[in-house]
Structure 1
């Protein structure tokens, strides 16, 4: 057989292994686990911690959904205005006056201390303030996340019913523009491929991950894991948080959301490109060899199949053509459940190699930015050597 045919067979082998032996990452059935609601009058107190930096555009669509939660127990919202220049804190107070509901506290933590990322510095300040009322749980949620009225109730019931120390939901991201349709479902698909949800949810698994937009964390588990101090330099803070909780003996769970949505738009390619490239190289621990291996691996898994099929049709190499077609078919088939979850047409499934190529270029660009000293940049802050998810 030709080199192209062997490469296509290799790609097909990898896809069959991914399909059957990699935690069934492609399935979308990991939703909130069976819950047992606490008895009436015994619902635990929850402090909702919301770090926010220049989020005046998002707050009108997200904060009211927290303030008006239909939660049977006690709860409060703490919004940490992280040096905003757009009136985030003032707007939050006005929304609280307009909608009522849960009590809101707005505070400012000042500039991050040495070694801290801005978000985790804000979360630290919010958690310290929350501990004054001794909440049983902390809900860590981003300022661009909107919750259905029963979201908090269902999260607490799931954690209580299954004795989880951390329950995290991957918020349903916005999918409206053409670029969002092409890239957003794939973002969640690739995340699940890196961290198969079923493996994350196994009691003795070494795989740990979370979705930072919605994390319900038992306060005792946060203290035991020394969160957020133990992960203060992490840019990919959700994975770092999950690892810290699991290392300290906590039980964690991660799944797809049905009633939690991101309201942040990414209408253009540049918006999504910046979102991915700011932290992609940190995920690879700034290791050039890991970057090279990732690029080659992505090429073998995602780009070889359509290339082999094209080469087979043009040159008459039947082995390359059939192996490329089979690998591409398995690839596209594994993507269909995620497209259905996002309500998108199955016609996008064969375009996954194009999407993978774009993500590969974003990862390379992330490395270029790092070596140019720009590191992870977000809303006016740049971390030249950010951590992904520290091991200690």
Structure 2
């Protein structure tokens, strides 16, 4: 009787996992497809003005590979770059000026806003300062891009043309992250895959859809939309600022957003070891769950059901002589593997990594739990010497 009950439980859990994967495959905005690239675009008769805002804190290591690509933009209209040095101690501001003198190209202004006041993250305080300086030029668009992002020479031109042709208030591209070390190959494509699963790009681009997201490394934003959505003041405390920006644009400004994978935008920041990648994910994972222990528990159970049950069910079914459990687990693992293949191809990685997705998901599960532990120890959302309180605490202080 006990043996039968145990086998029955394995069957039901395996069936639930397979059902979850079939739903994800067909009903979650086809998140696994990687063909969402810049939409059709036509060059405007007159190119609008653009100001590029780059918040930077201790970015001297990567700036030489990213800033010259912005200064060298082949843009037919007026364009200017504002690099906002957010209290760097490694000579970021001085290096930026030297690079501009050596490279030429678009005009560069380097400024510093000072330490952020209570209730502001450092990055958004720097973005606010940059937008304030930029608006004095009355640009039609603002390009918010991180200091580790390198742009192809035609990147700005293509972004503006796409925004104008499609009538988008935001055009955002998920920069192609670096995948050179073994851990980067294992973790980075999965990071983008999980992001797309949470925020299917196709749904983001549908007018009236509640799904809102952007990729903070590359966000082209209409200036008038930024004013209507009160960007960045409305999201000043946000740790995951790109998603918060997109929500403000959709909710408060009724804006139209496009989000997709990049072809001309790359991150040059290295994450050579697991520790580097762990820090990147754990600093914001619990903030993504709104610092809720209930959401954390649901996430852990959901990750286990969706990603860990299939290989366990296959193995348990084979060991226990339960062909139904083995079949259900194997099918779920097969669907999981198949949905991961397009992302590996986009990152030009070997396809044998696809069946390892359950292991990578388990690593992300541990990162998420660690993010919660760090939060309750008072070290959550720590980045480059700063630790931020959860939004509710900020609101209470306000």
Q: TM-score normalized by structure 2?
A: 0.96
Q: Deviations over 1:296-336 (max 9, x none)?
A: 01000000000000001111011110000000000000000
Q: Deviations over 1:174-217 (max 9, x none)?
A: 00000000000000000000000000010110000000000000
Question: Paired residue for 2:334, among 317, 329, 333?
Answer: 329
Matched with 1:195 is 199
SS at match of 2:259: strand
CA distance in 2, matches of 1:302, 1:123: 37
Question: Paired residue for 2:166, among 142, 162, 165?
Answer: 162
Question: Paired residue for 2:314, among 285, 304, 309?
Answer: 309
CA distance in 2, matches of 1:253, 1:66: 22
Matched with 1:242 is 246
Matched with 2:4 is none
Question: Paired residue for 1:172, among 147, 152, 176?
Answer: 176
Question: Paired residue for 1:384, among 383, 389, 392?
Answer: 389
Structure 2 counterparts to residues 146-295 of structure 1, below 5 A: 146-247=150-251, 248-295=253-300
**2:44 maps to 1:38:** yes
CA distance in 1, matches of 2:389, 2:211: 27
**2:33 maps to 1:27:** yes
CA distance in 2, matches of 1:281, 1:4: 30
CA distance in 2, matches of 1:375, 1:333: 35
SS at match of 1:208: coil
Q: Deviations over 1:64-111 (max 9, x none)?
A: 000000000010000000000000000000000000000000000000
SS at match of 1:174: coil
Matched with 1:117 is 121
Question: Paired residue for 2:12, among 6, 11, 21?
Answer: 6
How many pairs align?
387
Question: Paired residue for 1:145, among 149, 154, 164?
Answer: 149
Question: Paired residue for 1:346, among 343, 351, 354?
Answer: 351
CA distance in 1, matches of 2:62, 2:272: 15
Asked if the contact 1:376–1:386 (Cα under 8 Å) also holds between the matched residues in 2, the reply is no
SS at match of 1:2: helix
CA deviation after TM superposition for structure 1 residue 375, in Å: 1.5
Unmatched tracts of structure 1, length 5 or more: none
CA distance in 1, matches of 2:254, 2:315: 51
CA deviation after TM superposition for structure 1 residue 386, in Å: 4.8
Matched with 1:18 is 24
**2:54 maps to 1:50:** yes
CA distance in 2, matches of 1:311, 1:83: 54
CA distance in 2, matches of 1:384, 1:159: 35
CA distance in 2, matches of 1:2, 1:164: 51
Asked if the contact 1:374–1:384 (Cα under 8 Å) also holds between the matched residues in 2, the reply is no
CA distance in 1, matches of 2:326, 2:362: 20
Matched with 1:65 is 69
Q: Deviations over 1:105-154 (max 9, x none)?
A: 00000000120000000000000000001000000000000000000000
Matched with 2:3 is none
CA distance in 2, matches of 1:3, 1:182: 32
Q: Deviations over 1:233-285 (max 9, x none)?
A: 00000000000011111111100000100000001000000000000000000
CA distance in 2, matches of 1:109, 1:341: 38
SS at match of 2:13: helix
CA deviation after TM superposition for structure 1 residue 384, in Å: 3.1
Asked if the contact 1:69–1:149 (Cα under 8 Å) also holds between the matched residues in 2, the reply is yes
CA distance in 2, matches of 1:136, 1:31: 23
Q: TM-score normalized by structure 1?
A: 0.98
